[in-house]
Amino acid sequence: MKVPAAEIRRAVRQGLEEDLALGDATTSALFSSPVPTQARIIAQQSLIVAGMAAAVQTFLLVDPSIRLSVSKHDGDQAKSGESLISLEGDGRSILQAERVALNFLQHLSGIATLTHQFCRAVRGYPVNILDTRKTLPGWRALQKWAVLLGGGVNHRQSLSDGILIKDNHLALLQKERRPVEKACQLARAHRSPTLAIIIEVESLPEVRQALAGRPDIILLDNMSPSMVRRAVGLIKKKALVEVSGGITLKNVRAMAAAGADRISVGALTHSAPAAAMSLVLTRPLRSRSRRS
């Protein structure tokens, strides 16, 4: 699983520009010379680590002389109380990089951890947990990378990655007698052979229309598990079945049991709680000149 290196560099530079473009008034007022310091970032809950590569770049971009020892890498599991990374260097630099580094680690680890929880909830069923395009502007590559680290699967990266016909597309086709079927037919006539056709439906009659249009994937939106089971019975493997809308950790296993092949969860990226962790200064160090 490759780290999106270019996206990380861009995001780190943007984050530091937001925080340090005009300097650090507090640290500058309190410390006029280097303060040799040791510090650690510690997990305060069980989590899947994501964003460590970004955190490392943040500290080194602020001060290349900071020495780092990474205990947990991206994709690793960490328990509450475990150290994720140890730092040694000028305390002023560590404090200046602290918030941006933690923003990456907490947000992305939160996504990876929530994804892992969803994947664990459907364990034993042949179903994939997918993300959506409900991502923060400018952070999509990083957020989707965190989903992969948590064991999920990426849905479309952009509007060009597939044909996903949703309710508002169908609203523009309401003059057609059978808009769901017509939309599938139009998509088949104009698509690139490499693009999958996904059609969103909300009822069993729309499932029947979709089958007549021969899409690759039928997306069952906001259906109960019992309704999903009935729809799967109609589809009979003529298309993959995706389930979306109102998916939670409480109902995701029931959706998997109903026969879904894919379950897309917008909450993975738009509502994942930040993972709990903190940076702790373990002790200030004497300067090297005084040691000698």
Counting Cα atoms < 13 Å in the Cβ hemisphere of 266 gives 9
Share of the chain above pLDDT 70, in %: 97
Angle (CA) 144-224-128 rounded to 5° is 30
Active-site option among 200, 206, 242, 261: 200
Rounded CA-CA distance 165/66 in Å is 50
Query: Residue range 254-276: average pLDDT?
Result: 98
Q: Which structural domains are found in the chain, ordered by start?
A: 5-118+273-291 (3.90.1170.20), 162-265 (3.20.20.70)
pLDDT digits (tens, 9 = 90+) for 207-251: 999 999 999 999 999 999 999 999 999 999 999 999 999 999 999
For residue 101, CA distances in Å to 106, 263, 265 come to: 9, 32, 27
pLDDT at 230: 98
Active-site option among 13, 79, 123, 166: 166
The tokens describing 8, both together, are: 């990380």
Q: Is 221 a catalytic residue?
A: yes
pLDDT at 100: 98
Which residue in 66, 61, 59, 11 sits closest to 38, CA to CA?
A: 66
pLDDT at 285: 60
For residue 224, CA distances in Å to 89, 246, 260 come to: 55, 9, 12
What is the C-alpha radius of gyration for the chain, rounded to an integer number of angstroms? 24
Residue type, 178: R
Quote the pTM value.
0.93
Active-site option among 99, 188, 208, 214: 99
What HEC string does the chain produce?
CCCCHHHHHHHHHHHHHHHHCCCCHHHHHHCCCCCEEEEEEEECCCEECCCHHHHHHHHHHHCCCCEEEECCCCCCEECCCCEEEEEEEEHHHHHHHHHHHHHHHHHHHHHHHHHHHHHHHCCCCCCEEECCCCCCCCCHHHHHHHHHHCCCECCCCCHHHCEEECHHHHHCCCCCCCHHHHHHHHHHHHCCCCCCEEEEECCHHHHHHHHHHCCCEEEEECCCHHHHHHHHHHHCCCCEEEEECCCCCCCHHHHHHCCCCEEECCHHHHCCCCCCEEEEEEEECCCHHHHC
Active-site option among 24, 221, 229, 230: 221
Active-site option among 9, 10, 40, 134: 134
Query: Residue range 132-141: average pLDDT?
Result: 95
Q: Is 140 a catalytic residue?
A: no
Q: Is 286 a catalytic residue?
A: no
pLDDT at 213: 95
Q: Is 134 a catalytic residue?
A: yes
Rounded CA-CA distance 240/262 in Å is 8
